[in-house]
Amino acid sequence: MQIALVNPPRSNHDLAELGPPLGLLNLTRAAGDVGIEAGIVDFNLLWHTTPDLQIHFYERATELLLSTNARIYGFTSMAVDSHVSLELARRVKEANPRARTVLGGTHFSALAERIPHEYPWVDRVIPREGEGGLVDFAFACGVQPRAGSPKASTYSGVDLEQYFSVNPRRMVDVESARGCRFKCSFCYSPGHYPQRTSLDISRLIADLHELRDGGAKHFFLVDDNFLNEEERAIEVCAALEAASMDLTWHCYATLPQLSPRAVVAMAHAGCVAVFTGIDAVGKDSQRTYGKRFANSSEDSGRKIRLCLDHGIVPTCAFLVAPPSHPCGADSEQTVKAALSARVLGANIRLNILTQYPGTRLASDSGQPVEFDDYRVRVGLDAPAVIASNDYAAVLPELFPFHSRYVPSKEWRDFVQQVHCLFTLLYARTDELADRLQQDRPTKLFPIATQVLEEIGDLLRIDTLGRRQAEVIAFDSINILDQIAV
């Protein structure tokens, strides 16, 4: 192949969202449209199908990449795995100095100015949407188009069954638009997609027909915000419903835009779940994050019920910040809001605030950061190669998942508390809700602290046993009678 596009390993145990990497597939299609042969080396899949990779990752991965004899190696990242892409690029360049290396995706895009300076083996960072930039770079490198027909579709040539063998949900990613109408301070999207774009609906439907025929059962519509424009979303839903493909799907959508009309249309079209970032609860958080969706718990509750009434399970995400952060005082209120969402039947996410480089939040923060991989090791389902990040020890400000912005002990305590609260909000929802319904003032973070005092540092417990240990500790001590604040 002329261009090898590389996806780092990312998932370890949680495989529900594993599927072919859509961003890289879009690049292969753009290259194919001008006669350039691009292929994907997906280590996020190979990690699970090639056991040797888990033992000698960098050596085997580099051998595999070099065996493609590509002229250009392109690496993406989802921020937490960016050091793996950097190290693979370094090794490829060292073994084959004539190869050209290029980085792209939201995280590298935000660091486009610094990376070539800090990591001289990287020839180019392509900012923002990469299709045009990659093709231009290939031509600038002297890559010659080859005779042949362009790719028929985004997914043509992908061995879907390999993915479905790892993820039995048989899930694929597709998109109908890019960008978000909101400009939240913590999010990469406003910088990455300064202009929103809508993609061709007929092409989406054609891709989905092909994917359904290839065995897909479910798709993730990865648009940053499916409900940017209600009329457009309704149009997409109508096309999906008319296509009658017997596929279910889920998407991202913002809470205020989950109107009855939109939800009904989504349900008709096969939507079974929606991810919605409530994120900011409390005045300080809403001001700092530039997001004011949770204006009242009644309003959030109405939206959750609306979705559930139409067979759409919402996943509500909440941002929590450690105590000494300016938004830290809102964390207790935030977790209680998450519990309320759980009680109504929503899924929840508790996300520790990440200050992504280049975002308004990170620029305004001015807080120094230090290397710390505790969060990745405790809070994320990360392969060992993702947890270990020597690059972050040198430049922690480039690696937001491998750094902290509060003192070490506070950070570790907070990471564990959030891990524990996530467990208890799911596994002991009823007990916690009962307590709060009794009108006895109860705080949730002290409950987590007491559980963690019982079991010790989570890092000393096997990854797969941590949540069980938290529940056992919770059940073994009569916490709810002891803690009244």
Partner 1 sequence: MPKERKDMNIPVEKLPVGQENIAIVVSARATAAREGQTPHPNKKKRKDPNQPKQR
Q: Which residues bind partner 1 (CB under 8 A)?
A: 10-14, 16-18, 78, 169, 250, 260, 263-264, 267-268, 272-273, 275, 301, 305-306, 308-311, 313, 315, 336, 339-340, 342-345, 347-352, 375, 379-382, 418-419, 422-423, 426-431, 433, 436-437, 463-464, 467-468, 471
Check: CB of residue 341 under 8 Å from CB of residue 453.
no
73: nearest Cα among 103, 34, 47: 103
CB of 285: closest distance to partner 1 in angstroms? 17
Smallest gap from residue 418 Cβ to partner 1 (A): 8
CB of 344 to partner 1, least distance (A): 5
Smallest separation, CB 305 to partner 1 (Å): 8
Angle between helix 22-33 and 131-140 (nearest 10)? 50
> Can you tell me the distance from the alpha carbon of 301 to that of 299, in angstroms, rounded to the nearest whole number?
5
- Give the Cβ contact number of residue 343 at 10 Å: 17
Is 65 or 269 the residue whose CB approaches partner 1 more closely?
269
Minimum distance between the CB of residue 259 and partner 1, rounded to whole angstroms?
A: 11
Q: Which is nearer to partner 1, 121 or 275 (CB)?
A: 275
Tell me the one-letter amino acid at 484: A
Q: Which is nearer to partner 1, 3 or 369 (CB)?
A: 369
- Closest distance to partner 1 from the beta carbon of 323 (Å): 19
Q: Which is nearer to partner 1, 141 or 243 (CB)?
A: 243
The DSSP secondary-structure symbol of 279 reads: E
Using DSSP, state whether 115 is helix, strand or coil.
helix
At 445, the amino acid letter reads F
Residue 251 contacts by C-beta under 8 Å, 6 or more apart in sequence? Answer: 220, 221, 222, 223, 226, 266, 271, 274, 275
State which residue, 67 or 438, has the beta carbon closest to partner 1: 438
Q: Edge-to-edge strand order for the sheet containing 347-352?
A: 171-174, 218-221, 248-252, 271-279, 313-320, 347-352
Nearer to partner 1, 80 or 89 (CB): 80
Which stretches of 301-409 are assigned E, i.e. beta strand?
313-320, 347-352, 370-371, 403-404
CB of 309 to partner 1, least distance (A): 5
Is the Cβ of residue 94 or residue 434 nearer to partner 1 in the bound state? 434
